[in-house]
Amino acid sequence: MLKNNTSSKAAAAQERQARILLYIREQGTASIGQIADEFAVSEMTVRRMLHQLSDQNLIIRTPGGALAVRSGSMERTFLERAGKMSAAKDALGRAAASLVEEGETIVLDSGTTTQYVARHLAPRSNIVVITASLAVLEELAGSPSIEVKLTGGSYRRASHDLCGLALEAAFENIYADRVFFGAAALSFTKGAMNFDQEMSRSILKAGRQKVLVIDSSKIGMEAVYRYCPIEQCDLVITDSGAKAADVKRLRKLTQVIVTE
């Protein structure tokens, strides 16, 4: 009898877990409180199930909740990408931020690498930052001496940014001192590339200097969509993990900074 009760409880728990997973996938993202209310269970039970689902790579844990994993998606979610090469991205962000002078207006592209640029700009003063990235906005929200101008557009959860016609219109009317942008890959034959077809190219015309900030793991790789030839980048900033031969090839095409 005890064995049957135990089996029934395990089956019920598995069924509830499956329903919670379906709920997260339908919502895209959900907080622990939302899930607890929806399924009439304790938040402790929800946390335990989220840990189990995360261990199976079925969801991504976030502070206070979870994000759905889009199986088969070529573009990893923002939080997944944020955790990759974090030390290198921090060094890239520091190097990029050091180029910005007081009184400048800059454009920061969406992406996890430019988020680190914003992080190192946060203590600075008298700088205007124009961005479509909500991650950049969050990094700079507590900086009273930095003015952040957010473009319009529709929210994209996977990239935690804004996109659409309003974004294009905003960038067409901007000419900043520098534009910092990232890429999913840097091919020596096809240039900077992305998995995102909607990635706005108008940002490349929005500043005097175009700076590609990219970690070494992406150099020599290819994505799906061509974005910008290497020769059109005024400067490429990468980390010390870049191969010497790759850096030499890049320096034949544009200026390169390699972080320590």
DSSP characters over 218-246? GBT---SEEEE-GGG-SEEEE-TTS-HHH
Cβ atoms of 61 and 82 within 8 Å: the answer is no
Strands 29-31 and 65-68, bridge-based pairing: antiparallel
For the cut 50, the answer to whether the pLDDT of residue 173 exceeds it is yes
At 7 the pLDDT is: 56
Could you say which of 69, 94, 109 is where a domain stops? 69
For the cut 60, the answer to whether the pLDDT of residue 77 exceeds it is no
What is the domain extent for residue 110? 81-258
173 shares a domain with 44: no
110 shares a domain with 59: no
Encode 199-238: b = buried (16+ Cβ within 10 Å), e = exposed. bbeebbebbeebbbbbbbebbeeebeeebbebeebebbbb
160 shares a domain with 48: no
As beta bridge partners, residue 156 has 161
Residue spans of beta strands (DSSP E) within 5-115: 29-31, 59-62, 65-68, 105-108
At 70 the pLDDT is: 54
94 shares a domain with 20: no
- CATH number, residue 212: 3.40.50.1360
141 shares a domain with 195: yes
Stretch 112-136: mean pLDDT, rounded? 93
Cβ count within 10 A of residue 130? 22
Could you say which of 44, 69, 94 is where a domain stops? 69
Task: Examine residue 49 and state whether it is found in any structural domain, yes or no.
Answer: yes
141 shares a domain with 38: no
Dist. CA 106–CA 152, nearest whole Å: 17
For the cut 60, the answer to whether the pLDDT of residue 71 exceeds it is no
Question: Please, which pLDDT band fits residue 164 given cuts at 50, 70 and 90?
Answer: confident
109 shares a domain with 44: no
At 78 the pLDDT is: 60
Residue of 95 and 18 predicted with greater confidence: 95
Report which secondary-structure segment, H or E, holds 208.
strand 207-213
101 shares a domain with 59: no
Question: Please, which pLDDT band fits residue 75 given cuts at 50, 70 and 90?
Answer: very low
Cβ atoms of 200 and 128 within 8 Å: the answer is no
Task: Examine residue 75 and state whether it is found in any structural domain, yes or no.
Answer: no
Dihedral of the alpha carbons of 123, 128, 134, 135, in degrees to the nearest 10: -30
